[in-house]
Structures are given as structure tokens and as C-alpha cells.
């Protein structure tokens, strides 16, 4: 995708794997769940949508 972008969602397969297949950076909203061991991890993981917004705005204290 020209200029890059993010695929963000809570589905490891539909959102993260789909985004990766499209060439996007991936951000998984875990909602407290564990990542499936059989899948390649996303670029970033956050617990909730509020944390995802902070990552996208560059206000991510965890990195």
C-alpha cells in the first residue's frame, strides 16, 4: 500500500493475518486474550482500543 498504513483489529486471522497479507503494519487489540501460538505475532499488541489510539498518535509510553 502506498505510504503504508495499519491493519487494526481483534481477530488474529481476519484482522492481523489479513493486514499482513495486504502489506500493512499490524496492531492487535488483545482484549486480554493470548496470541495463538501457531500464528506469527503482530507488529504491535495492545489491550484495548484506547491503547491502540495512543500507539497511532505516537503517545505510546510502552515502547
d(CA 57, CA 36): 27
Q: What pLDDT, on the 0 to 100 scale, is given for residue 58? A: 87
Domain count, the chain: 1
Q: Is the distance from CB of 36 to CB of 16 less than 8 angstroms?
A: no
Structural domain for 13, as ranges: 6-56
Q: Is the pLDDT of residue 45 over 60?
A: yes
Q: What is the mean pLDDT of residues 17-21?
A: 96
Element (H, E) at 54: helix 49-56
Structural domain includes residue 63: no
Q: Is the distance from CB of 41 to CB of 33 less than 8 angstroms?
A: no
Q: Is the pLDDT of residue 3 over 50?
A: yes
Q: What pLDDT, on the 0 to 100 scale, is given for residue 4? A: 75
Q: Is the pLDDT of residue 12 over 70?
A: yes
Q: Is the pLDDT of residue 1 over 60?
A: no
Structural domain includes residue 62: no
Q: How far is CA 41 from the centre of its chain?
A: 9
Structural domain includes residue 61: no
Cβ neighbors of 63 (< 8 A, separation 6 or more) are 55
Amino acid at each position: 500500500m502506498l505510504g503504508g498504513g495499519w491493519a487494526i483489529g481483534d481477530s488474529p486471522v481476519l484482522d492481523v493475518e489479513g493486514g499482513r497479507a495486504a502489506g500493512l503494519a499490524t496492531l492487535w487489540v488483545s482484549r486480554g486474550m493470548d496470541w495463538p501460538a501457531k500464528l506469527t505475532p503482530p507488529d504491535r499488541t495492545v489491550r484495548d482500543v484506547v491503547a491502540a489510539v495512543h500507539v497511532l498518535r505516537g503517545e505510546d509510553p510502552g515502547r
